[in-house]
Structure 1
Amino acid sequence: MNMRYLLKMALHSAWNRKLTLGMTVMAIALSVTLLLGVERLRDQAHQGFGLSVSGTDLVVGARTSPVQLMLYSVFRIGEATNNISWASYEKLKQHPMVAWSIPISLGDSHLGFAVLGTNQDYFRHYRYGDRLALKFASGKPFNATFDAVLGADVAKQLGYEVGSRITLSHGMGNSTNSLAEHGDKPFVVVGILKPTGTPVDRTVHVSLEAISAIHLDWVGGARAPGFQIPPQYVQKFDLQPKDVTAVLIGLKSRAAVFRVQRMVNESKDEPLLAVMPGLALEQLWQVVGVAEKSLMAVSAIVVVVSLSGLVAVIMAGLNERRRELAILRAVGAQPREILLLLMYEGIFVILVSIVTGLIALTIATLCAAPIMQSHFGISMTAGWPSLEELRLLAAMALVGLLASLFPAWMAYRLSLADGLTPRL
Structure 2
Amino acid sequence: MAWRLPGWVAWGVLCLGWAGLLRAEPVAVTPAPAPEAAQQAEFSQCVAQLQQRALAEAIDPRVVETQLGAVSYVARVIELDRRQPEFTETFHNYLGQRVNEQRIETGRRLLKQHYDLLLPLTRQYGIPPQYLVAFWGLETNFGSYLGKMNVLDSLTTLACDPRRSEFFTQELMEALRLVEAGVADHGTMLGSWAGAMGNMQFMPSAYRRFALDADGDNKADLWNSLPDAFTSAAHFLNQLGWERNLRWGREVRLPPGFDYALAGRDVHKPLSEWRRLGITDVAGNRLPDLPLTASVIVPSGHRGPAFVVYRNFDVIMGWNRSEYYALAVGHLADRINGGGELSVTPPNDERLTLATVQWVQGALTQAGYDVGPVDGIFGTRTKRALRDLQKSRGWVADGYLSDETLEQLRAVLPAEPTPTRSGEQP
Q: What TM-score results when the alignment is normalised by the length of structure 2?
A: 0.22
From the two aligned structures, give the one with the greater strand fraction: 1
Relative contact order higher in (CA < 8 Å, ≥ 6 apart): 1
Higher Cα Rg, which structure: 1
